[in-house]
């Protein structure tokens, strides 16, 4: 018994449609569920107060600040390093063993589990270099984690700059480095910024690495220095949802925290998408 | 003067080269520190006993460090995740690149990006409050915190990787090959499943490998939904029982172990194993991708 | 445009007032032509003249392009292929096409030929073996590949790949074969092999070829149509077109004054 090819096609396309609908429906479900349950918990007080009564009441202010500090700390390290590395790979590197090794290292770093980065941060920064469990250790660990993302995004952005621009500048007797700085980088900037924003979202959402390198279970004050421990949104959500003192009672706070985290991360992604669309329209050659 | 300029350009290139070489150094350091911190365990027990040990009782007296329950825990959760995400992901990729109009495809892609952007702890939280109670009710289980719950969540989380890389591979199949099939009177579906997908197969396999890597390395989500019981899971009934993965073990126990203890070293060995496993998976995916690019190019 | 065909030759394809737009670009303007059966009809003209667009109308390959709109009629054996109820898939089975760039599937030689018959329901292994041999022989490729049917088609040379594509088209038993600049990516030796093949095939098939190579059109075609800027300028026997064109622009083109 064989079906007519056109009938088979209808059945197959129906299945494919079901698959993509399932995926999209799931995205709606998770966004809707977190938003609907979390929106009630969010208020000015929630965002600006410290957690109270063993984290069963109060706000998430220190966790928000902790996350912002982590973002700043990791970006200060990862951005310059990542962009310079991408410039080398796209503008200078020649085919060869060395370039191949670097490319392989980048894709393997990108595939290394975040908890392994956490262990590495613990061994290198916390213990060996003596930074202790701290913002410094956690930021450095996260910086290494997002480095491959920044390099890949910047490389891609640089690769879209048409060769003609470089040649035009070089033909005017401008040096290679000046050409890169004055001509290539400005054109690639939107793409680089997009990559940077996406990696900020990644830093904001990562939990396993900071769990091993300095995030505090509970610290109802702001950290004093980079060598202090800290609270952070994702770890705070994890603690409240799995090992808080009263998990059932603090559900609203959990939903609120999840929503704030989701808003930050997806908001950043949205900005990245907007930048990309804006410049893609503007730049046509 | 000219020599100065040349010297400066050369210096800049050297600085740039060293920044990109940092990645190699990091990879190297990860190896050194993970293996270095882990090696001390093998003064106490043999590597083989560690690999084949059936019990993970790190705090009993004497402690037992057997990797098997954790490894099999990771395996069962990952296998389940792949069973969910490969059909769903490849089907979605085919839909986006071959069936949807450019406009619809443009509307669908942001959803995949959102899926990739949601933090793992939020997935874990969603699993905890939505998937687990429903699984428990639906299947009438003593607890919803099961390997299956982990598989479902990881299956979803591996989707963006699988979809976007498969889609790239499918879109890369030259349209003149598809036209050749259509011109013979093949339907679009016959063309897709007999020509386009087979031609993109190595790219799709690479996507699946990377999806597997993602699932094996995921920590927070599995830790929040699988119940974390370190016993060897049965098959297939193990899907409906709590399970403990390698990643979850590190995250759960590292906070409470004294530095320098056997337990501490054992957790580093688990980390080193994870590192090696994901490294191998990446290398395989990379070599598959390379072969496929070569093929389309020729 | 009609031409008096030789005694006993019927019209295979009749096109009436065909117009085609890519978005706002009016790419084919009021084309009317009758194409004879079991002959070789060549479309010539400078690049961008619409000859390739037109040949792709004859098996509705243009349907695959978004924003492409057609008006008018194309009758194949008297049946308008642009009617709503026409089964495009079946049409393409009857009207085969060979493309400019050889496009064998990334499969073995055998699988490339067996692909078409299989999707149209042939599952008998013996029958398939027979079809593969027959069509490879018709495409003058059998002697070169009979000992390596299971090796990848992409290992063949460009000319062999193109003959394989022709064999692949023959395997679904079409009535008409459209060739869209089939030799433009090939060397002279491969080109002459394909031309010989066309001469042989025209005994059994109606052949339409688009070519930018005028010598080729003069060598192989029985009837020739000249296109310019989306219009059909002149259509006649190859002899008439190449020896005493009626239109000035046809003459300019074939004497090499432009294009």
Per-residue pLDDT of chain B (298 residues; tens, 9 = 90+): 455 677 888 899 999 999 999 999 999 999 999 999 999 999 888 989 999 889 998 888 888 899 999 999 999 999 999 999 999 999 999 999 999 999 999 999 989 999 999 999 999 999 999 999 999 999 999 999 999 999 999 999 999 999 999 999 999 999 899 999 999 999 999 999 999 999 999 999 999 999 999 999 999 999 999 998 888 888 888 899 999 999 999 999 998 888 889 999 999 999 999 999 999 999 999 888 777 554 443 3
> What are the distances in angstroms from CA B147 to CA B120, C70, C141?
17, 57, 57
Which chain B residues are within 8 Å of C105, Cβ to Cβ? 177, 180-181, 195, 199
Q: How far is B254 from chain A (nearest CA, A)?
A: 7
Whether B86 maps to a domain, the answer reads yes
> What are the distances in angstroms from CA A173 to CA A176, A184, B19?
9, 15, 27
d(CA A40, CA B271): 40
Nearest CA in chain C to B200: C106
Confidence tier at A169 by pLDDT (50, 70, 90) = confident
Which chain C residues are within 8 Å of A6, Cβ to Cβ? 87, 89
CATH architecture of the domain covering A40-48+59-282? Orthogonal Bundle (1.10)
C-alpha of A193 from chain center: 12
Q: Would the CB atoms of B95 and A16 count as touching at under 8 Å? A: yes
Helix, strand, coil % (nearest 5) of chain C? 40, 25, 35
Q: Which of B101, B176, B194 sits opposite C99 (nearest CB)?
A: B176
Nearest CA in chain C to B189: C119
Please report how many Cα atoms fall inside a 13 Å half-sphere around the Cα of residue A25, on the Cβ side. 7
d(CA B283, CA B295): 19
* Interface check B181 vs C, CB under 8 A: yes
Whether B260 maps to a domain, the answer reads yes
Q: Would the CB atoms of C121 and A2 count as touching at under 8 Å? A: yes
Q: Would the CB atoms of C121 and A6 count as touching at under 8 Å? A: no
CB B33 within 8 A of CB A122: no
First to last CA, chain A: 54
Q: Determine which of B103, B106, B180, B193 to mutate to test the interface with C (most C C-beta atoms within 10 Å).
A: B180
Flag whether pLDDT at A51 surpasses 90. no
Do B34 and B64 lie in a common domain? no
Nearest CA in chain A to C87: A6
Which chain C residues are within 8 Å of B194, Cβ to Cβ? 115, 119
User: Which residues sit opposite A57 in a β-bridge?
Assistant: A52
Do B10 and B111 lie in a common domain? no
Q: Which residue, chain included where needed, has tokens 């999840």?
A: A258
Burial class (CB in 10 A: 0-12, 13-18, 19+), C223: buried
d(CA A179, CA A173): 10
Which chain B residues are within 8 Å of C66, Cβ to Cβ? 101-102
d(CA A114, CA B270): 14
d(CA A133, CA A227): 7
Total structural domains within chain B: 2
Confidence tier at C257 by pLDDT (50, 70, 90) = low
CB B9 within 8 A of CB A177: yes
Whether B297 maps to a domain, the answer reads no
Do B25 and B129 lie in a common domain? no
Q: Return phi, psi of residue C208, to 5°.
A: -120, 130
Which chain A residues are within 8 Å of B271, Cβ to Cβ? 115-116, 119
Q: Which of A5, A22, A106 sits opposite B187 (nearest CB)?
A: A5
Do B180 and B96 lie in a common domain? yes
Which chain B residues are within 8 Å of A106, Cβ to Cβ? 23
Q: Which of C89, C104, C165 sits opposite B185 (nearest CB)?
A: C89
Q: How far is C19 from chain A (nearest CA, A)?
A: 29
Flag whether pLDDT at C258 surpasses 60. no
* Interface check C119 vs A, CB under 8 A: yes
d(CA A28, CA B126): 13
Q: Is the ipTM of this complex over 0.90?
A: yes
- Tokens linked to B259: 């530095």
Which chain A residues are within 8 Å of B30, Cβ to Cβ? 112, 116-117, 120
User: According to the model, what pLDDT value does residue C148 have?
Assistant: 93
Write out pLDDT tens, residues C124-171.
999 999 999 999 998 889 999 999 999 999 899 999 999 999 999 999
Nearest CA in chain C to A6: C89
d(CA C173, CA C182): 19
CATH of the domain at B238: 1.10.3720.10
DSSP-derived letter for residue C206 is: E
Which positions ≥6 away from C192 have C-beta within 8 Å?
A: none
* Interface check B194 vs C, CB under 8 A: yes
User: According to the model, what pLDDT value does residue B2 have?
Assistant: 52
Confidence tier at A168 by pLDDT (50, 70, 90) = confident
Taken as a whole, chain B contains a residue count of 298
d(CA B276, CA B27): 12
Stretch A147-168: mean pLDDT: 91
Do B61 and B118 lie in a common domain? yes
* Helix A251-282 × helix A185-205 angle, to 10°: 170
Whether B278 maps to a domain, the answer reads yes
Which chain C residues are within 8 Å of A2, Cβ to Cβ? 121
Whether B296 maps to a domain, the answer reads no
Which positions ≥6 away from A190 have C-beta within 8 Å?
A: A157, A275, A276, A278, A279
- Domain coverage including residue B32: 2-43
* Helix B262-297 × helix B2-39 angle, to 10°: 130
Whether B298 maps to a domain, the answer reads no
Q: How far is C175 from chain A (nearest CA, A)?
A: 21
User: According to the model, what pLDDT value does residue B298 have?
Assistant: 35
Q: Subunits that touch chain A (at least 3 Cβ pairs < 8 angstroms)? A: B, C
Which chain B residues are within 8 Å of C116, Cβ to Cβ? 184-186
* Interface check C89 vs A, CB under 8 A: yes
> What are the distances in angstroms from CA B270 to CA B38, B47, C168?
8, 12, 55
- The verdict on pTM exceeding 0.90 is no
Which positions ≥6 away from B196 have C-beta within 8 Å?
A: B98, B170, B173, B177, B178
Do B108 and B209 lie in a common domain? yes
Do B130 and B248 lie in a common domain? yes
Stretch A232-259: mean pLDDT: 89
Listed by start position, the domains of chain A span 40-48+59-282
Burial class (CB in 10 A: 0-12, 13-18, 19+), B103: exposed
Confidence tier at A2 by pLDDT (50, 70, 90) = low
Nearest CA in chain B to C152: B295
Q: Determine which of A112, A155, A179, A241 to mutate to test the interface with B (most B C-beta atoms within 10 Å).
A: A112
Do B26 and B103 lie in a common domain? no
Whether B99 maps to a domain, the answer reads yes
Q: How far is A3 from chain C (nearest CA, A)?
A: 10
Q: Would the CB atoms of B26 and A144 count as touching at under 8 Å? A: yes
Whether B273 maps to a domain, the answer reads yes
CB C235 within 8 A of CB C1: yes
Do B263 and B148 lie in a common domain? yes
Q: Which of B180, B185, B187 sits opposite C105 (nearest CB)?
A: B180
Write out pLDDT tens, residues C145-157.
999 999 999 899 9
* Interface check C85 vs A, CB under 8 A: no
Do B30 and B87 lie in a common domain? no
Q: State the count of interchain CB pairs (< 8 A) between B and C.
A: 69
């Amino acid at each position: 018994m064989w079906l007519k090819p056109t009938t088979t096609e209808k059945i197959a396309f129906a299945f494919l449609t079901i698959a993509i609908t399932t995926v999209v429906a799931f995205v709606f479900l998770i966004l809707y569920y977190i938003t609907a349950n979390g929106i009630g918990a969010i208020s000015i007080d929630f965002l600006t107060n410290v957690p109270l009564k063993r984290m069963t009441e109060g706000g998430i202010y220190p966790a928000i600040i902790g996350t912002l500090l982590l973002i700043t700390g990791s970006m200060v390290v990862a951005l310059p390093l990542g962009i310079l590395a991408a410039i080398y790979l796209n503008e200078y590197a020649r085919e060869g063993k060395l370039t191949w090794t670097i490319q392989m290292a980048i894709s393997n770093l990108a595939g290394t589990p975040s908890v392994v980065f956490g262990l590495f941060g613990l061994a290198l920064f916390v213990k060996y270099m003596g930074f202790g469990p701290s913002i410094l250790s956690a930021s450095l660990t996260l910086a290494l984690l997002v480095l491959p993302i920044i390099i890949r995004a910047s490389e891609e952005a640089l690769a879209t700059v048409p060769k003609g621009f470089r040649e035009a500048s070089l033909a005017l007797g401008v040096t290679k480095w000046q050409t890169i700085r004055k001509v290539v980088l400005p054109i690639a900037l939107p793409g680089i910024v997009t990559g940077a924003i996406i990696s900020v979202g990644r830093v904001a959402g990562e939990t396993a690495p900071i769990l091993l390198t300095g995030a505090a279970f509970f610290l109802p004050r702001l950290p004093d220095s980079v060598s202090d421990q800290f609270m952070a949104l994702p770890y705070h959500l994890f603690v409240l949802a799995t090992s808080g003192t009263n998990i059932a009672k603090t559900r609203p706070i959990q939903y609120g925290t999840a929503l704030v985290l989701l808003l930050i991360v997806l908001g950043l992604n949205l900005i990245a998408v907007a930048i990309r669309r804006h410049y893609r329209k503007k730049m046509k050659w | 003067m000219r020599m100065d300029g040349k010297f400066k350009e050369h210096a800049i290139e050297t600085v740039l080269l060293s920044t990109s070489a940092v990645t190699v150094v990091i990879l190297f350091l990860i190896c050194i520190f993970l293996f270095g911190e882990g090696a001390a365990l093998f003064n106490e027990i043999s590597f083989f006993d560690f690999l084949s040990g059936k019990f993970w009782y790190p705090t009993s007296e004497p402690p037992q460090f057997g990797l098997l329950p954790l490894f099999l825990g990771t395996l069962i959760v990952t296998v389940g995740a792949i069973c969910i995400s490969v059909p769903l992901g490849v089907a979605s990729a085919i839909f986006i690149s071959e069936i949807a109009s450019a406009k619809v495809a443009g509307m669908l892609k942001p959803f995949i990006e959102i899926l990739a952007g949601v933090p793992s702890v939020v997935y874990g939280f969603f699993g905890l409050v939505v998937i687990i109670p429903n699984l428990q009710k639906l299947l009438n289980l003593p607890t919803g915190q099961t390997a299956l719950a982990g598989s479902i969540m990881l299956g979803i989380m591996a989707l963006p990787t699988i979809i976007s890389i498969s889609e790239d591979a499918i879109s890369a199949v030259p349209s003149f090959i598809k036209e050749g099939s259509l011109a013979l009177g093949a339907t679009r579906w016959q063309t897709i499943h007999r020509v386009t997908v087979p031609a993109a197969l190595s790219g799709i396999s690479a996507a699946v490998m990377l999806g597997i890597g993602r699932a094996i390395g995921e920590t927070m989500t599995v830790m929040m939904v699988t119940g974390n019981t370190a016993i060897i899971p049965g098959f297939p009934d193990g899907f409906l029982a709590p399970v403990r993965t390698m990643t979850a073990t590190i995250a759960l126990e590292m906070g409470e172990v004294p530095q320098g203890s056997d337990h501490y070293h054992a957790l580093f060995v688990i980390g080193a194993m994870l590192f090696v496993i994901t490294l191998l998976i990446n290398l395989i995916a990379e070599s598959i991708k390379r072969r496929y690019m070569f093929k389309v190019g020729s | 445009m009609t031409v008096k065909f030789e005694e006993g030759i019927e019209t295979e394809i009749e096109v009436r007032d065909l117009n085609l737009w890519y978005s706002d670009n009016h790419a084919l303007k009021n084309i009317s032509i009758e194409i004879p059966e079991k002959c070789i009809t060549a479309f010539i003209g400078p690049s961008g003249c619409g000859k390739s667009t037109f040949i792709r109308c004859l098996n509705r390959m243009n349907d695959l392009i978004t924003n492409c709109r057609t008006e008018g009629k194309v009758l194949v054996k008297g049946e308008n292929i642009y009617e709503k109820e026409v089964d495009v898939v079946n049409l393409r089975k009857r009207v085969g096409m060979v493309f400019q760039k050889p496009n064998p599937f990334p499969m073995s030689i055998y699988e490339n030929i067996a692909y078409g018959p299989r999707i149209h329901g042939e599952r008998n292994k013996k029958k398939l073996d027979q079809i593969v041999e027959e069509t490879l022989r018709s495409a003058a490729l059998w002697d070169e590949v009979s000992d390596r049917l299971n090796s990848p088609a992409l290992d063949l040379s460009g000319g062999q790949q193109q003959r394989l594509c022709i064999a692949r088209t023959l395997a679904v038993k079409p009535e008409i074969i459209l060739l869209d600049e089939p030799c433009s990516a090939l060397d002279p030796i491969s080109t002459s092999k394909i031309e010989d093949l066309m001469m042989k095939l025209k005994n059994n098939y109606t052949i339409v070829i688009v070519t930018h190579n005028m010598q080729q059109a003069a060598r192989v075609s029985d009837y020739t149509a000249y296109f310019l800027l989306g219009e059909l300028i002149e259509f006649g026997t190859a002899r008439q077109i190449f020896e005493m064109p009626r239109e000035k622009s046809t003459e300019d083109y074939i004497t090499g004054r432009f294009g």
